[in-house]
Amino acid sequence: MRKKQTATSGMDWNTMLGLTQRLKQDEMYRDYLLITVGCYFGLRIGDLLKLRWGEVEKG
């Protein structure tokens, strides 16, 4: 059985900034933090979900 291939494309930086600002305005803080940290540090969702607050604070 073959694995299904998926394709992704990058998001324009200004589009990402607009998205994060809307998430913050809508008080969707968890999504805001996940996307912001992921974009600034180049982390995938699996890596982000493993992070703990203490690891982020020590940065």
> What pTM value is reported for the model?
0.67
Give me the amino acid identity at 24: K
Position 37 in a domain: yes
Position 2 in a domain: no
- Number of structural domains, the chain? 1
Position 27 in a domain: yes
Give me the amino acid identity at 35: I
> pLDDT averaged over the chain?
87
pLDDT of 56 over the 60 cut: yes
Position 7 in a domain: no
Position 6 in a domain: no
pLDDT of 15 over the 70 cut: yes
pLDDT of 59 over the 60 cut: no
Count Cβ neighbours within 10 Å for each residue of 15-31 and write b for 16 or more, e otherwise.
Answer: ebeebbeebeeeeeeee
CA distance 44 to 22: 21
**Containing structural domain, residue 41:** 13-58
Rounded to the nearest angstrom, the gap between the alpha carbon of residue 28 and the centroid of all alpha carbons in its chain is 13
Position 46 in a domain: yes
| pLDDT tens-digit readout, 17-45 | 999 999 999 999 999 988 998 898 888 88
State the average pLDDT over residues 3-20. Answer: 88
Position 41 in a domain: yes
